[in-house]
Amino acid sequence: MLSNLRIFAVSHQTIPSVHINNICCYKVRASLKRLKPHVPLGRNYSSLPGLIGNDIKSLHSIINPPIAKIRNIGIMAHIDAGKTTTTERILYYSGYTRSLGDVDDGDTVTDFMAQERERGITIQSAAVTFDWKGYRVNLIDTPGHVDFTLEVERCLRVLDGAVAVFDASAGVEAQTLTVWRQADKHNIPRICFLNKMDKTGASFKYAVESIREKLKAKPLLLQLPIGEARTFKGVVDVVTKEKLLWNSNSNDGKDFERKPLLEMSDPELLKETTEARNALIEQVADLDDEFADVVLEEFSENFDLLPAEKLQTAIHRVTLAQTAVPVLCGSALKNKGIQPLLDAVTMYLPSPEERNYEFLQWYKDDLCALAFKVLHDKQRGPLVFMRIYSGTIKPQLAIHNVNGNCTERISRLLLPFADQHVEIPSLTAGNIALTVGLKHTATGDTIVSSKSSALAAARRAEREGEKKHGQNNEAERVLLAGVEIPEPVFFCTIEPPSVSKQPDLEHALKCLQREDPSLKVRLDPDSGQTVLCGMGELHIEIIHDRIKREYGLETYLGPLQVAYRETILNSVCATDTLDRTLGDKRHLVTVEVEARPIETSSVTPVIEYAESISEGLLKVSQEAIESGIHSACLQGPLLGSPVQDVAITLHSLTIHPGTSTTMISACVSRCVQKALKKADKQVLEPLMSLEVTVARDYLSPVLADLAQRRGNIQEIQTRQDNKVVIGFVPLADIMGYSTVLRTLTSGSATFALELSTYQAMNSQDQNTLLNRRSGLT
């Protein structure tokens, strides 16, 4: 078997562009005639990781490395901090690609969608697998745009570590804060990489200070830059007291020399590095007791004698405990500092076995995996990305979907390489796999080997929960933990070119919804039109473009509209009776409900029952009652928008024997709608938190424009030579803002938007909105 593999490894060099989708690893007798010499956009990809040159590894070590040698990491950052460029360099130095891709040229590996290449931004996360110095790294490049925050969230859910990339001239920016909070939520250890050290205005000191102040993190300086902006030429390794200089004549940054700092040649740099190393040792000793004991016992007199290995081990422990974050620097575009970053990933970020997942004890060695992303491939159908927490996945394996309560069969198993994949015979715990053949699995579904396995795990979890004072609800939640999907804030109608194309549009939207859970599609009950609900203008624009390119449908979008909400201001009661005879059966229901406002913010109505309602009656009709209340609150009396921040109390319920649950639900729904109509009503509008980075010269026109848009400025900060305006502005007044801002500032300003909350509109704005909706203005 190995000899056949050796033949393939030698042969692959003579075919420079083999489409990697067709390489079937476990059928090693794959003859060359099965390989199609075609790679999109003419990129040259190398063969399987580990098969570079004549470096032949056993097939098993390539596909299933020891779990301690696996690193599942994500690259996360604000827009334009250099995530994709960093990923591109990582793939090149690890031997996966043979040429350096560029975002501006539109030929990067992870930005493979046409929309990404045109706009120069990442829209959907892409996974790549590669080897680095004996370690298997599963890397996910995530988007930085706020419209695609969910894409970052669902990837962080399955990762063990992350690299946060910063623009060294800007430090911590708006979206950096968002992704940092997401990483905190999932307890992800992370490394900071200060990118763009060669950029005009780059400041290592400023960037580190912004991490300390804005992210409330403790930075561990593992590197110091040699020069900044135009003079940047390398970095100093503080741990080993060595300088790393990149060859200025080298086009790809592969050639760099590592030299120890000497008193004779670099007295100033050595002094600065020694001070930084001593400060680092003290900082780590404060955070790690084990390391503090070693330092006090053996090296308290002279920190220079402390071996680098002991310091690195302590930094690894501190990173895992998330009490501090290692900080490195470089310039991805100028090919400097990437190799030390890869070393830091393998050295300081955790392996899967070092992360403590409580639910693993309930599964023992049975299969437990989480589906975190779905893609649609025209040839293969749905491709499901899975993180394997325990057990092994193989092709032709029947698996049980706990969330969907269905059993499916995996037809093929692949290793992800952006838009190209390698077929494999099996994959063990700790890895990220790509499966073909799962028709019903969606994002956030828990995958197990069988229904009995899930039940056994649930029983173990319940027993454990009872020991901890009956926390079995918590156990059940962790068992099926998925991803929280944010509510959409924009919506618009979408129309097919003709009625005959409506089924094709519905199929396209169904596939896109499965890929992107933040996209919602609903049918307008009044007009019968299809309504798209998304996270922002760019999100809806991308969906429209994808329908055109991928499904060949020229659709028409209606004007973008804001997703308002409604609430009530006072308490009201209403009674309703429904009396229908269908066939020879009489359905009679009488309901009395009270609707009142609540102070705590709640998207769904809070349902309460009066003491007079008997338990026996509730037992048979509770589901129908709650269904009726929820459906009534989906469409408010003013704009037909969802009603929030209300409590509905059921005071009395009389049901004639033989009345169907559908009639109960309909009567309750009608009664709640009657109560909402009687109450004093209020429209709530989405309020966005806004951050505008603008040059001092253009600050006045930007502030004047925001004042016209009902903006509320909270503070104006200084960031290097720029001003950062932070405030709140209603979403209805910020539509199309990017074009206006570009005009006001000659294209020099940038801005970031994020949904903050829903706020009550004043009566004048509310009346204007209602008149506009009813066609009076």
Q: Domains along the chain?
A: 67-256+322-348 (3.40.50.300), 359-466 (2.40.30.10), 490-563 (3.30.70.870), 570-679 (3.30.230.10), 683-774 (3.30.70.240)
Beta strand pairing call for 242-246 and 256-260: antiparallel
Q: Tell me the C-alpha distance between 608 and 615, whole Å.
A: 13
Task: State pLDDT tens for residues 350-377.
Answer: 998 888 777 777 777 888 888 888 877 7
Q: Tell me the C-alpha distance between 696 and 703, whole Å.
A: 11
Is residue 43's pLDDT more than 60? no
Token pair 């490195």 in the structure block, residue: 328
Determine the average pLDDT of the residues in 95-111.
Answer: 64
Token pair 């053949």 in the structure block, residue: 437
The pLDDT score that the predictor gives to residue 106 is 57
What residue type is assigned to position 522 of the chain? R
Helix (H) or strand (E) holding 752: strand 750-760
Which of 26-30, 540-544, 641-645, 762-766 is the least confident region? 26-30
The binding site consists of 77-84, 141-145, 195-198
Task: State pLDDT tens for residues 555-580.
Answer: 998 887 888 899 999 999 999 998 88
The pLDDT score that the predictor gives to residue 341 is 93
Q: Which tokens go with 286?
A: 């404060």
The binding site for GTP consists of 77-84, 141-145, 195-198
Is pLDDT larger for residue 415 or for residue 203? 203
What residue type is assigned to position 61 of the chain? S
Q: Tell me the C-alpha distance between 643 and 683, whole Å.
A: 9
Find the radius of gyration of the CA atoms of the chain: 29
Closest to 46 (Cα-Cα) out of 96, 80, 7? 96
Q: Tell me the C-alpha distance between 432 and 415, whole Å.
A: 8
Q: Tell me the C-alpha distance between 179 and 331, whole Å.
A: 21
Q: Tell me the C-alpha distance between 389 and 4, whole Å.
A: 32
* Mean pLDDT, the chain, integer: 80
Q: Tell me the C-alpha distance between 102 and 106, whole Å.
A: 6
Token pair 């020069």 in the structure block, residue: 227
| Helix/strand/coil for 249 | coil
First to last CA, the chain: 77
Beta strand pairing call for 446-448 and 406-409: unpaired
Task: State pLDDT tens for residues 273-322.
Answer: 999 999 999 999 999 899 898 888 887 777 888 888 999 999 999 999 99
Helix (H) or strand (E) holding 534: strand 530-534
Q: State whether the Cα torsion 441-442-446-451 is positive or negative.
A: negative
Beta strand pairing call for 219-221 and 325-329: parallel
The pLDDT score that the predictor gives to residue 239 is 92
Q: What is the edge-to-edge ordering of all strands in the sheet holding 572-582?
A: 572-582, 585-597, 646-655, 606-609
Closest to 234 (Cα-Cα) out of 190, 264, 273, 208? 273
The DSSP bridge partners found for residue 409 are 398
Is residue 117's pLDDT more than 70? no
Task: State pLDDT tens for residues 533-553.
Answer: 887 787 888 888 888 888 888
What residue type is assigned to position 570 of the chain? N
